[in-house]
Amino acid sequence: MSRRTEMYVLAGLAVLLAVAGYYYFQSGNQAAGPPSLAPGDVSFQPLDVQEPQLRLDLLDKIRKLQYLGSHRNIFTAAPPPIPKPTGAAAIAQRPFVGPKPLPPPPPLQIPAELFGYSSQPHGNKRVAFFTSGDDVLVVPEGGTFLSRFRLDRIDNDSADVEEISTGRHATVPMVQPPDLGGASQ
């Protein structure tokens, strides 16, 4: 700091100390304590209490009160829960007016059964074998069959199939071939 700045700071402190001292000595002349009433002011009247004991009956009445309002957390911005009607109010509720929502579509039915698959020895392409009635369908992954289904993926015991027109998916489990009973051991 320069010499000139130091002089300004010291002068400011001196002025501040002078003002603080003035207020300190001026407040020292006044009497400390609560304000007193002038001797001629008689407007103050003490309370006329007839029975200065506690009213225990009123305290017991307050203790037995139960809060019946909504039990809302005041520290969250969410609105309070809507009270559910009970008794006659629940019966008198107005019925729903308007269009009913459509039921969900039925599960996708594939008119074919998966009975096996094969995979190429050098690659990851698989081919699934389906039966549809008396027909045997050989479908590669990504291929279409029965003019409306696409084979998405072949797993070890199921195949994921998509209906092309709706985009709905279904899983076709692999079925075991029926035992013809003619095989000898």
Domains of the chain, each with CATH number or no CATH: 113-173 (2.30.30)
**pLDDT class of 160 with cuts at 50, 70, 90:** very high
**pLDDT class of 112 with cuts at 50, 70, 90:** very high
pTM above 0.75, yes or no: no
Structure letter (DSSP) for residue 145 = E
What is the pLDDT, as a whole number, of residue 25?
85
What is the pLDDT, as a whole number, of residue 76?
84
**pLDDT class of 183 with cuts at 50, 70, 90:** low
Mean local confidence (pLDDT), 12-21: 91
Rounded to whole angstroms, what are the CA distances from 117 to 43, 127, 157, 178? 108, 5, 9, 17
What is the pLDDT, as a whole number, of residue 47?
79
How many Å apart are CA 143 and CA 117, to the nearest integer?
14
What tokens were used for 23? 């207020």
Question: For the chain, how big is the Rg over CA atoms in Å?
Answer: 46
Give the residue carrying structure tokens 């603080």. 20
Helix and strand numbers, DSSP H then E, in the chain: 3, 7
What is the pLDDT, as a whole number, of residue 125?
85
